Chain A
Amino acid sequence: MAQHQDFKKPTFELSMLLYDTRYRSTSFQVIALILFFSLIWWLVNNTMSNLAITGKDIDFSFLVHESNYDINQRLLEYDSRSSHGRAAVLGVLNTLVLSAIGCVTATILGVFVGIARLSKNWIVARIMTVHIEIFRNVPLLLWILLIMSMVAHSFPVPKHFRGADPIATMKLFDSVALTNRGFYIPEPLFSNGFGDMGFFSNSFYISIDLIVILAILIGSIWASGKIKARAKRIQEETGIRPTTWYLRLGVIFIPTILLLVYLGFYLGYPELKGFNFKGGIHLRNSLIALWIALSLYTSAFIAEIVRSGILAVSKGQTEAAGALGIKPNVIMALVILPQALKVIVPPLISNYLNLTKNSSLAIAVGYMDLTGTLMGITLNQTGRELETLLLGMSIYLTISLLISAVINWYNRRNDMVER
């Protein structure tokens, strides 16, 4: 009884927040949180009060005003009477185009270099090592500027294509013109097309031809997938896999080819008229410089990722597959790569994100991406630094999060079940 009275129920004291292990971690987290929010508050408050001192306000209304400047690479209708908002959209599209083609070529090149670096052929392996070390150890900006000046100074000027005995000639049966202002390639045209479809009260148009072609292609690929699934089922039931490659090829190509014929598909060739080539698709020298530089630079990192992924698969896997009598090149495709992909894909995402973000160096060669339009000319002509930068940053953030979400989804879907 007496003992019971001696045992005092511990009362809560302020010092226990620090000295009592039960509360310590919580109180430190609360302190950290308070500090973090006061820092944010201080930054915002400081910005607002400084803006007030200079008499500026935060105002996004410039987005609907006329931009008054021109953009050379336009994926949508645009002229100097269009709004700053539209110029920003064009910038985003240019960023996406550059990132997309850059990611594709960087991946192809990176996988090739990564695998070749593991080659048993000494020379091939060394050359790939040199490739990787050169491209990843020199700043990207220098590569971009170097390639740009190479294109601008070493390819012929359009006027050299003129005359009875021209200095330069078009390549590939007169279909491609390589000039120092960029490359002109044939463009697909339809004599019998469906025209364009307007979206968002005709603020932009998409070619119906393109939509139909894509729809047919997706349908064909789906049908081809069904044929494959059927072949697999038959193989599991009977042990014999029916030959389906010609069926699948036909399903994929024949509908699209028929459609193209129906639409009156032909190629529009570039032609020298006045100062420049007209017609065809104009890949500007800035786009080419960025594309090559971004692909080479990122491919060096991807190659190392691929190599590490392959090396991460235990040698026992190769030996086991070999013991089962599988041929070496099939081992790579069916045994090693699927396991290596698990290691490869997460850092690959981060390289795609890097490539997308690095594309903001585009202004160095005058490519009109998001940094060039919204955060460049628009910023300059309107003087709205804070607004354009905040908007630009959130657009980059959105693009990056989307890329990462898509690839994460793909990775989870194709994740192997480990035993």
Chain B
Amino acid sequence: MKKSLFIGALLALGMAATTSGASTLEEVKARGTLNCGTSTGVAGFSLPDANNVYQGFDVAICRGIAAAVLGDPMAVEFVPTTGKTRFTALSSGEVDVLSRTTTWTFSRDVDLKMDFHGVNYYDGQGFMVPRSLGVTSAKDLDGATVCIQVGTTTELNLADFFRVNGITYEPVPTEKSSESRSLYQAEACDVYTTDASGLASARSTFADPSAHVILPEIVSKEPLGPVTRHGDNQWGDIVRWTLNALISAEELGITQANVAEMAAAPTNNPEINRMLGTEGNLGPMLGLDKDWAHRVIAAEGNYGEIFEKYLGVNTQIGLERGLNAQWTDGGLLYSPPFR
């Protein structure tokens, strides 16, 4: 009796031991799936299709990482996060990587202890209004009711824009972007504001997209990119170079169709060879095998292919490449060399 009591007490105290910190790469490999934080549904960026399989531009990044690390682009568990819960989900370890139209800002990078690994979409905040309102500039919006999603940089830019221009507005905050869109469609607000890509995405889901205009003002810089926790540099490198591989692949002309052929034997372009593992030792330096980049590109194609598939002018979303073209085409995409 006495002994069992003491053992019980010891057990209770034994709970105090904290879990040891295995690296994210080991954890993901041991688990066999990648936990990827996405949004709660933004057409073109991350949205489950009719078969409940997540599709989209942000989703493709996670598929690429899963392909690189686990060899299977479908081995991803998608965790929908709201603007409010995303960083908590990441810092608590609920997700391994956040690929969720998240803006890279100083305080998120430094104070929230996040690591941003480049930019997969250069965005900026815009305003959408019904065409019938007859508004042509965001500066005419004095006194308007504006729907925004809470916990986003959008909210801060909005306050700044109206303050700087000396006009007033009435914010209508909502927790999810879907609620914002619903209130906007019910005309419970005059204006819907979010990143311009998000506006195009939202407009594509409306019954009559041509009844809504996106105003010309872009009021902020919104570099969106994948995020990981501070402190696990190896994991951060994997995410960063997965994105760079997608961007470089477009620049070097590696596509989903020809990647197998290019990876089969060394080509006469050494950078392609280094990236695809037919030359040098880049994969093992990352803690992966030599074929990692081959699998990343084979998953959903290069950056350009992914863009055209989910966001491009031929899709419902209908976005131009704009700033998101390769640097050689006058855009901002510029991957460091694979060397």
Contact = CB atoms under 8 A, between A and B. Distances in A.
Interface of A: 15, 18, 31, 34-35, 38-39, 41-42, 45-46, 49-50, 53-56, 68-72, 79-81, 149, 152-153, 157, 159, 180-181, 273-276, 278, 285-286, 363-366, 368, 372, 376-377, 379-383, 385
Contacts of A383: 87, 107-108, 111-112
Given A153-B186, A366-B173, A275 B143 contact: yes
A153 B188 CA distance: 8
Contacts, number: 127
A382 B113 CA distance: 11
Nearest to B88: A385
B318 interface: no
B: contact size bracket = 35 or more
Q: Which 9 A-B pairs have the closest CB atoms?
A: A380-B151, A80-B159, A383-B112, A274-B143, A366-B173, A152-B188, A157-B187, A275-B144, A42-B16
A146 B141 CA distance: 30
Contact of A54 (B91, B107, B170): B91
B258 to A, nearest CB: 43
Nearest to A155: B188
Contacts of A385: 88
Q: DSSP class of A's interface residues: helix, strand, loop or mixed?
A: helix
Interface string B146-185: 0000111001101110110000011111110001001100
A69 B107 contact: no
B18 A50 contact: yes
Contacts of B15: 42
Contacts of B158: 70
A380 B86 CA distance: 9
A157 B188 CA distance: 7
Contacts of A72: 170-173
Given A31-B9, A366-B173, A376 B151 contact: yes
Contacts of B18: 46, 49-50
A410 B144 CA distance: 46
10 contacts: A31-B9, A35-B12, A46-B16, A46-B18, A80-B160, A273-B143, A275-B141, A275-B145, A276-B144, A380-B83
Nearest to B149: A366
B110 to A, nearest CB: 10
Contacts of B169: 70
B36 interface: no
Contacts of B30: none
A231 to B, nearest CB: 52
B150 A70 contact: no
Given A149-B182, A274-B144, 12 more contacts: A39-B12, A41-B16, A80-B156, A152-B186, A152-B188, A157-B187, A159-B187, A180-B186, A273-B143, A276-B143, A366-B173, A366-B179
A57 to B, nearest CB: 11
Q: DSSP class of B's interface residues: helix, strand, loop or mixed?
A: mixed
A170 B189 CA distance: 19
A55 B114 CA distance: 11
A72 B188 CA distance: 14
B159 A68 contact: yes
B145 A377 contact: no
Contacts of B5: 18, 31
A72 to B, nearest CB: 5
B113 A56 contact: yes
Contacts of A80: 156, 159-160, 163
Contacts of B285: none
B143 A54 contact: no
B230 interface: yes
B13 interface: yes
A311 B179 CA distance: 45
Given A180-B187, A372-B173, A380-B84, A54 B231 contact: yes
Interface string B1-33: 110010001001101101001000000000000
B274 interface: no
Contact of A274 (B108, B142, B179, B182): B142
Contact of A366 (B9, B162, B175, B187): B175
